[in-house]
Chain A
Amino acid sequence: MFQGLLSTIAYVPLAGALLLLFFPKDSKKAIAWFATAVAGVDFLISLPLFFQWDTSLAGFDPVTLERHSWIPSIGAQYIFGVDGISALFVLLTTLLGVIGALSSWSAITDRVKEYYIFLLLLQTGMLGTFMALDFFLFYVFWEVMLVPMYFLIGIWGGSNKLYAAIKFFLYTLFGSVLMLLGILAVYFYYGAKTGVYTFDIVLLHTLGADPAFFELSRWVFWAFFIGFAIKVPMFPFHTWLPDAHTEAPTAGSVILAGVLLKMGTYGFVRFNLPMLPESSRLYAPYVLALAVIGIVYGALVAMVQRDWKKLVAYSSVSHLGFCMLGVFALNVNGLNGGILQMLNHGLSTGALFLIVGIVYERRHTRLISEYGGLSKQMPVFATIFMIITMSSIGLPVLNGFIGEFTILAGAFQIPADVAINVLGLTLGGKFWAICGVTGIVLGAAYMLWLYQRTMFGGLDNPENQKLKDCNTREVLYLAPLVACCFWIGLYPKPFIDILDKPVAHIVEQLHATGQGYAELGK
């Protein structure tokens, strides 16, 4: 690892996109190859973040930290840095980037050049968001990635693409401009207090220990909350998600589900918890309630979907609710599990969208009723789908289990006084955990039912009788995801090790001040 590594990772895709401009429009194959190669190289460059990571680090890695003056007039700096949490997300992004590019080779035949340019630009935007340690810079990247995603959905999407694209853009923008106000409020508060106007996240985190900041932080919490909750998306801000995920092209869905949604949860971990600890504790019960509603609601709605892709989309709502349950348990187990589950969701739901994409490419329909008995015709495909299904429903040996188990452990540890009273009932940590478990049960139900309806039964539909099994390329891009699912499921230690110290640090910041939830509530 070296200084400048992060910028290299972030801008290799951008450079690739610029180079793509010089490719002739019709050399589609060369364009796809080149874009995939760029994403692949980017992934390889990012590997040291995992394999050479110093797990004893609680804060941001000093070796790769970059700090340059950018807009001195307002105190915005160009700061790139990662801790264990963001390092894992960077890796997830680069991995899904390659897979996304590879999966588009045969799916995208129209306006290929523009497609890969947008895909690579999106990659830069996402990587920058995870690396930025300056709030201003963070916001810039956060917004930048909306534009390529808008085009990916709007140009290459399904039948209702325009509606889905604009809904995605507007929804997210509404959230993020409110977040911007929160950022400004923090910025001016810190500036007035210390005389230094800065967006440096590490400095702004110190506000967490400032009792006088509490009044303002309650407002800031909700400003951030709306911005991040829309991205997650939490119930009731989730309505953009089914449209966007369903209409987006396969790679778009993979990246949406795999990376973009994580930015919301990442935002909570990075900003709300350390910067606004008291408000986070104060409002945790409400967030938990929404998270649990999301888990159950998402699962129930997923169950009744007739559209394969929409089912997966709603399952995301449910799974992200799980992540939020973990994060807002506000303890080490919960956070560890929540963050790990974000990775798991990226891997398994990414794979699920790829799987839908594979059959959609062959049949051009997403209706579940159109399929049935595919396991006879496509054994390799069915095997992979089975593994991913098991991962998604949290079967032991696979990654989902580790994440869900840790989250539930965290939820059980929520102190009894973090509760809200509804009609005389005190709904606290254990209650949320129990609700979460029903989510797992429902999750198993809709996933297995989906599997049964599509893979088993008679191969009745004549259209399905000539379906081809996965080709090498398809196996190639699904294999790493399957491998990761097993890896995290069997030996999660390296991942937990990387997360452990930063998570402990955040929990420490969370409980540095204030007495407890109960007193704040009064």
Chain B
Amino acid sequence: MTAIDPAKLLVECIPILPEMLLFFFAFIILVVSAILPKQDRRWIAWLSLTGTVLVVPTVFNDARNLAGMAATPVFFGDVAVDPLAFYFKMVVLVGAILSILISVDYLEVERTQSGEYYALIMMATAAMMFMACSLSLLMIFISLETMALCIYILVGFLKENRKSNEAGLKYFILGGFSTAIFLYGTSLVYGATGSIQLSRIAAVAVPGAPGIEMMVLGLILIIVSLGFKVAAVPFHMYIPDVYEGAPTAITAFISTAAKAAAFMVMVRVLLAGFPGLYTWWAPLIALIAAASMTLGNITAILQDNMKRMLAYSSIAHAGYTLVGVLVAGIPGETGQFGLKAVAVYLLIYTFMNIGAFGMVIMLRRANLAGDQVEDFSGLAKRSPLAAFTMLILLLSLAGIPPLAGFMGKWYLFGAAIKGNYAWLAVLMVLNSAVSLYYYLRVVVCMYLRKPLTDEPYAMSPALNTALAISLGMTFLIGVMPERLLAFATFSYSMVMAASSG
């Protein structure tokens, strides 16, 4: 490699300005929180929210330049500036913004309001945004690790809560394993192909190539590690404990934004790096998808803890999404449909799921954990609007039209049919009917049981805003999906060109 011209470095950095900005804001938050007196810590939340929201237009600015750049990789070929990256950056930012909103008053209840929390969320978000646009395995690894390190800390953030500590430790140890597996896989792929650039890997990773065995082994290891990140069976063992133990707002964050980013990486690696080995990885992904949705849904039925139930449901949803990834690997129009399904679904899932966790936060009172299904008892009587919000979110998660979740499911079912995976399609629809059973358990509690306590709910303007956004988007995307679909269409339209460039 030749010496780098500083001027050129600056030019190369322009496309990654949003991420840099987010890191910069995170550091400002750290400094401010050290200066600010303890009773004013709440302001940090608003400051970090402002910072994150400010990043949104810069991402849009990048997107505006897309046409001019003709989707060439930048930052020494490691970073993609394509609509897909843009789309997923938006998903991640939406997830982060909503997560911060539901955190503000939650941290008051948990008495751990502090600057690091928000700074870590922002850094993790920046890392996720890098994940969305990484084009080389090394870049992916670095961003993946940055995100994971932030999240390990966030999961264990409730220092006085044993469950939170346990969750943090568990996540850290298992996460470490998965990282090591990813690295090992990368090294094998590098050994077999001589490159860590996805486009160069794609050029040599075809059936019958020399060293194909090593390549496939490396690919399998990478899939295993990413399977861990997206919470797919059989790499899901840590999920229920981590989701239950983590601060609820962080559970919402990792089940949506982090998951979306991990899916994005998976799509990028499989589609941009190993399209030639589709016949090798497709059965593996199909199997993981089938296992995830079935096991996730069936286990969710048995849960009494709301966070654990949503954890298992999130495993099931990962299974559905994997079907989209699977179909996305098929070349041509079918693949584009599959990719679109993944993109649409993950954004919709972000709204629904953060909303559902937001409701759990509403039930968390100073002396009440509020995370049991039973705690929803009598909600309809005490607060009809809150119960209605939860009802809509749950029905949407179950995929009942005309709500957003149905649009997402429609795309995934469609992808499975279009991709000729009829057996997966049947499994998916049966699973989504099963899922209704446990979502309805919550509905029964809300509408048919008497309230257990008359402790006031932890409603706050910030939380209400987040819930209103979730509810509104769940409705809007369900009834008028065209806007979102057009947006998603834009993001998949150029991905093929971009990933092969």
Contacts and interface: CB of A to CB of B under 8 A. Distances in A.
B476 interface: no
A73 B482 contact: yes
Q: Choose among B410, B422, B432, B437 the residue with the greatest number of A CB atoms under 10 Å from its CB.
A: B410
Q: Secondary structure of the A side of the interface? A: helix
Q: Choose among B429, B448, B481, B482 the residue with the greatest number of A CB atoms under 10 Å from its CB.
A: B429
B426 interface: yes
Contact of A173 (B426, B433, B489): B433
A139 B401 contact: yes
A162 B436 contact: no
A149 interface: no
A150 B439 CA distance: 13
Contacts of B406: 140, 143
A155 B489 CA distance: 43
B488 to A, nearest CB: 8
Contacts of B400: 143-144, 146-147
A201 interface: no
Contacts of A170: 433, 436-437
B211 interface: no
A213 to B, nearest CB: 15
Q: Secondary structure of the B side of the interface? A: helix
A196 interface: no
A180 B482 contact: no
A180 B433 contact: no
Interface string A152-190: 001100000010001001100110011011001101100
A184 B395 contact: no
Contacts of B433: 170, 173-174, 177
Interface stretch (B242-250, B355-363, B411-419): B411-419
A72 interface: yes
Which range contains the number of B residues in contact with the other chain? 20 to 34
A185 B437 CA distance: 26
B184 interface: no
A177 B432 contact: yes
A151 interface: yes
Contact of B429 (A73, A166, A181, A187): A181
Contacts of A72: 482
B417 A185 contact: yes
Contacts of B418: 184, 188
Q: Choose among B395, B401, B402, B430 the residue with the greatest number of A CB atoms under 10 Å from its CB.
A: B401
Contacts, number: 72
B447 A155 contact: yes
A304 interface: no
A250 to B, nearest CB: 20
A286 interface: no
A433 B85 CA distance: 65
Contact of B448 (A74, A154, A184): A154
A406 to B, nearest CB: 36
Q: Choose among A177, A181, A187 the residue with the greatest number of B CB atoms under 10 Å from its CB.
A: A177
Contacts of B261: none
A177 B430 contact: yes
A188 B417 contact: yes
Contact of A181 (B401, B425, B437, B444): B425
B440 interface: yes
A33 interface: no
List 9 tightest A-B contacts by C-beta distance, closest first: A177-B429, A73-B485, A140-B401, A184-B417, A173-B433, A174-B433, A140-B402, A143-B401, A184-B414
Interface of A: 70-74, 139-140, 143-144, 146-147, 150-151, 154-155, 162, 166, 169-170, 173-174, 177-178, 180-181, 184-185, 187-188
Interface of B: 395, 400-402, 406, 410, 413-414, 417-418, 422, 425-426, 429-430, 432-433, 436-437, 440, 444, 447-448, 481-482, 485-486, 489
24 contacts: A70-B482, A71-B481, A73-B481, A143-B401, A143-B406, A144-B401, A147-B395, A154-B447, A162-B448, A166-B437, A166-B440, A166-B444, A169-B440, A170-B433, A170-B437, A174-B430, A174-B433, A177-B433, A181-B426, A184-B417, A185-B417, A187-B414, A188-B414, A188-B417
